[in-house]
Amino acid sequence: MLYETQIKLPHLSLAALANSEVIDPRKPTLVCLHGFLDNANSFATLMPLLNNYQCVAIDMAGHGKSEHRSIDAYYHLSDYAYDVYQLIVTLQLRNFALLGHSLGAIVSSLYASTRPKGLRGFIAIESCGPLTQSADTTAAQLRECFISRAKANKAIIHPRNIEAVVKSRCAVSDLSPKHAQQIMIRNLKTDAVGNLQWRTDKRLRTNSAMRMTEEQASSVLANIECPRLLILGNQGFEKIKAAIALRDPVFFDVPVSTFEGGHHVHLESVTPVANCIDKYCAHFFKS
């Protein structure tokens, strides 16, 4: 059984799903961070299979049922990492690991690189660290960022029905309709007369102002000291496999487990992935 909870940080409130009614800071805990435009429901079928550990899957800021950032703010990677920092402090976790998918794994890598006390391990699903661009694209990236922010000021168009939402999400991802609905239903709410509205912050779709260079990203990854595990789908994103090869000096000793599925392999091969995570967590929570 999963429990809905709200976690009040000093600067915003995050919604979360947990596999225990009361979060005990003394228990070995998996902090789960979802991918871009997903939410905690991304882990809803996985967490019941990880009952050897306390699991807390958050809706990242601007996603799902969590608060949006203030009107003068945007969604920078460093701010997401700071949210995780404050989450750990607020929950007073002393013995925890990070389980991140895609964007959530990128954010986890930034936080893990700061070498926080109590961090036992880091499991990344379909991610090998921050996306990068060469330094000479900085001005162009800023230009695209400003254009996208201006467009985000326009009135949001709310969906007609859940079927349309699922169809649109499936069109731009490898999600099945079943898994798309599982995730997207948490990104929606109904108004007083029953019309669907987006919960997600429209600013999430704006372009990043800047991206790290490859040198910066490699430095972040090289500063992660805790044990790591990388989980991939055999039909996952090719750019992730290419990035692993490029970053071989910081990934050569990281174990990789590959399962049947695409970018959301933890939804498609849920039992094998859960067994893999359970086995690996048993290793580093005991160490």
What pLDDT score was predicted for residue 248? Answer: 82
The dihedrals phi and psi of 275, each to the nearest 5 degrees, come to: -60, -40
pLDDT digits 0-9 by tens, 187-242: 999 988 888 999 999 999 999 999 999 999 999 999 999 999 999 999 999 999 88
pLDDT-above-70 percentage for the chain? 100
DSSP string, 12-79: -EEEEEESSSS--TTS-EEEEE--TT--GGGGTTTGGG-TTSEEEEEPPTTSTTSPPPPTT----HHH
pLDDT (mean) for 98-126:
98
What pLDDT score was predicted for residue 50? Answer: 97
What pLDDT score was predicted for residue 279? Answer: 96
Is residue 78 scored above 90 in pLDDT?
yes
pTM of this prediction?
A: 0.96
What pLDDT score was predicted for residue 39? Answer: 99
What pLDDT score was predicted for residue 8? Answer: 98
| Residue 273 confidence class, pLDDT cut points 50, 70, 90 | very high
pLDDT (mean) for 116-144:
95
What pLDDT score was predicted for residue 74? Answer: 94
Is the CA virtual torsion 153, 73, 42, 198 positive or negative? Answer: negative
| β partners of residue 198 | 188
| Residue 153 confidence class, pLDDT cut points 50, 70, 90 | confident
pLDDT (mean) for 154-164:
86
| Residue 156 confidence class, pLDDT cut points 50, 70, 90 | confident
What pLDDT score was predicted for residue 287? Answer: 58
Encoded amino acid at 171, one letter: A
Is residue 66 scored above 70 in pLDDT?
yes
**Domains of the chain in sequence order:** 3-132+200-286 (3.40.50.1820)
pLDDT digits 0-9 by tens, 21-60: 999 999 999 999 999 999 999 999 999 999 999 999 999 9
pLDDT (mean) for 110-131:
97
Mean pLDDT, the chain, integer: 95
